[in-house]
Chains A and B, each alone.
Chain A
Amino acid sequence: MDRKIMYAAIAVIAVVIIAGLAVGLGSNNNAQNKTNVTEIGSDTMLELMQMCAEDFNAESTTVSVSITGGGSGVGITKLIQGETDVAQASRAMTSAEAQNASTHGVEAVEFKVAIDGIAIITNGANTVTTLTLDQLANIYNGTYTNWNQVGGPDLAIVLYGRQPTSGTYQYFEEVVLKKGKTGASEYSSTMKQQTGNQQILSQVEQDPGAIGYVGVGYAKQGEGSVDVLNIQKNDTSIAYNALDENAVLNQSYSLSRYLYLYTNGVPTGAVKDWIAYVLSTDGGQRIVTDAGFYPLPSAVQQEMISKLG
């Protein structure tokens, strides 16, 4: 009896393994018919690029794109080392990276593919609606610890942010905390480091005194339970909101940034097909809106398409 059970078990395992191998080989064969394009980089862009790749792969008969996260810096490093065809980055290449690329004989070509606004969100119960960039910096470097220091209720400020490897963490550090510029300050060590935009959003929804920074797509998801603050460049300038598409597009909103793709040299063949799809109005630019970002203004879009030659 025991032996029968054992044989049965072995038979089942064998069938599973053979089936698995067959499926694995089958899918491999399918993939081999298409030219594979790899893309690595920013996590902020991961969902957006995966949505693009899904639609592109379904449409294209000749090219298959695979997307990996890892952070903007990782993507650019891999591009320079020749380990990926395309790098996605939520910030422009630094001069050090550009230098590194040229010493490795890599000619990095930059494509803007979307615009992102970093939204500053607070709990719906908080009455503060507007902050200047200085106030925001002083909140995040720990100078201000109570909302009454910026005209709000007597409530302790709870800081939420991203982890140090995040491109958004680095962007905020540069633009708001002015890293490497005059008047630079550091993130307060009390900032609660979250591993994603979604975590920041749900914590800010919970805690009355919370403040956080997220991509504008996430801020839209939280509408009703979180407030998106207006941001002023200084005391006298006009305040703009990340939800205001025009303000983000013409960069009058202080925390707007482009999202980029980088290739080695002007792309040709499969890589060109992919970039062209991301830039196309019916393709990538439509998906950009679905993913919560803003599509390129048509002038910039035309400029990018003309770069493809």
Chain B
Amino acid sequence: MDLLTHFILLIIAGISFLVLVLVFYTLISNALPSFINFGNNEVTDLWNFLTGDIWRPNSDIYGILPLVLGTLLVSLAASLIAIPIGIGCTIYISEIAHPKVRGILKPAIEILAGIPSVVYGLFGLLILSPYIRDIFGVGSGTNALNGAIMLAIMMIPIMVSLSEDAINAVPRSLREASYALGANRWETMRSIVLPAALSGIVAAIILSIGRAVGETMVVLMCTGNSPQVTGNILDSVQAMTSAIAIDVGEVAGGSLHYHVLFAIGMILFLFTLAINMIADLIAARYSEAYR
């Protein structure tokens, strides 16, 4: 019986690994033809693909710089909004809040994580964007800032629940030692708990940035989808995920455009893979500290 259970669970675990391998294979095998074709295409080549600032698939011009910068601009702005709020929330919930308040706040934040992203997208598109248009006096409220605010709201629950775990994992003995030396609650938190949990908190932040980079529905609905190179947060941008989502449904299978979409998917995959590995490395350092 034990052996059977072991075997079944092994297969189940194996399937998830197999799925990863298959996804990666699909990406590579579909992206490769685009890299091969780049060499034969007069309009574009690999260098133009990576650094070209014009994304115009209908004329076979595939510079993904506007898309990469779009993703980075929205994610960076979202992080700048989400990090202070997320860390503040975590500190308040884990160290300051009365247990009754915590009993309400914590589930509330966890529910935020369970709301489907399309609902956030609708909220940004229909409710938030008119305010952004009127407050900042721009032509349209569907822009990078709109997407960034909605992404930040999606990042906060991940950040809070992961960094709260990190803070809770700081051994009780450390806090007690600090109190014994006469430090108050604020001093203990600032000088003992936060530094001890720092790598866990940083890992939480990085993982939530990974979420922002890979998010599709919200950026698709909120940022306006203009594939332009811009650093202005009030301009409309198109993210890599949006370009894939918008075009893949109607693109002719096997065309250069089709393969380029997979190439973008691969670059996106490398982005999030790198982000997750950095988070893992930092978290690994942290888990060794108090063993």
Contact = CB atoms under 8 A, between A and B. Distances in A.
Contacts of A217: none
Interface in B224-261: 224-229, 235-236, 238, 246-247, 249-253, 257
Interface in B215-230: 224-229
Interface residues of B, number: 32
B254 to A, nearest CB: 9
A189 B140 contact: no
Interface string A172-190: 0100000100000011011
Interface in A279-301: none
A29 B142 CA distance: 49
Contacts of B251: 71, 165
Interface string A49-73: 0000000000000000000011101
Contacts of B238: 193
Interface residues of A, number: 35
A173 to B, nearest CB: 7
Interface stretch (B20-28, B51-59, B195-203, B274-282): B51-59
B226 A164 contact: no
The residue in B66, B226, B249 that gathers the most chain A C-beta atoms within 10 A of its C-beta is: B226
B246 A163 contact: yes
A185 to B, nearest CB: 12
B250 A186 contact: no
B133 interface: yes
A164 B247 CA distance: 7
Interface in B96-138: 129-130, 133, 138
Contact of B226 (A74, A173, A192): A192
B58 A210 contact: no
A83 B24 CA distance: 29
B139 interface: yes
Interface stretch (A2-10, A201-209, A243-251, A266-274): A201-209
A69 B56 CA distance: 22
A209 B250 contact: no
A187 B56 contact: yes
B276 to A, nearest CB: 29
Nearest to A159: B226
Contacts of A99: none
A135 to B, nearest CB: 18
Contact of B140 (A70, A158, A169, A170): A158
Contact of A165 (B59, B141, B247): B247
Contacts of A43: 250
Nearest to B247: A165
A6 to B, nearest CB: 15
Nearest to A165: B250
A137 interface: no
Contact of B58 (A157, A169, A206): A169
Contacts of B250: 43, 69-71, 74, 163, 165-166
B129 A206 contact: yes
B73 to A, nearest CB: 14
A43 B246 CA distance: 13
Given A43-B250, A189-B227, A203-B142, A164 B56 contact: yes
B139 A209 contact: yes
Nearest to B59: A186
A194 interface: yes
Nearest to B221: A199
Contacts of A130: none
A77 interface: yes
Contact of A192 (B56, B130, B142): B142
Nearest to B223: A192
B246 A195 contact: yes
A159 B226 CA distance: 9
A256 B119 CA distance: 37
A79 to B, nearest CB: 12
A192 B224 contact: yes
Contacts of A187: 56
A256 B226 CA distance: 27
B252 A77 contact: yes
Contacts of B139: 155-158, 207-210
Interface of B: 54-59, 66, 129-130, 133, 138-142, 224-229, 235-236, 238, 246-247, 249-253, 257
Given A165-B247, A190-B236, A193-B225, 17 more contacts: A70-B250, A73-B252, A159-B226, A163-B246, A163-B247, A163-B250, A165-B251, A165-B257, A169-B58, A170-B58, A179-B59, A189-B54, A189-B66, A195-B246, A203-B142, A207-B140, A210-B139
| Closest CB pairs A-B (n = 3) | A165-B250, A189-B228, A158-B139
28 contacts: A43-B250, A70-B249, A71-B252, A73-B252, A74-B252, A74-B253, A156-B139, A163-B247, A165-B249, A165-B257, A173-B58, A179-B59, A189-B226, A189-B228, A190-B235, A190-B236, A191-B226, A192-B224, A192-B225, A192-B226, A192-B236, A193-B225, A193-B238, A203-B142, A206-B133, A207-B139, A210-B139, A210-B140
Interface of A: 43, 69-71, 73-74, 77, 155-159, 163-166, 169-170, 173, 179, 186-187, 189-195, 203, 206-210
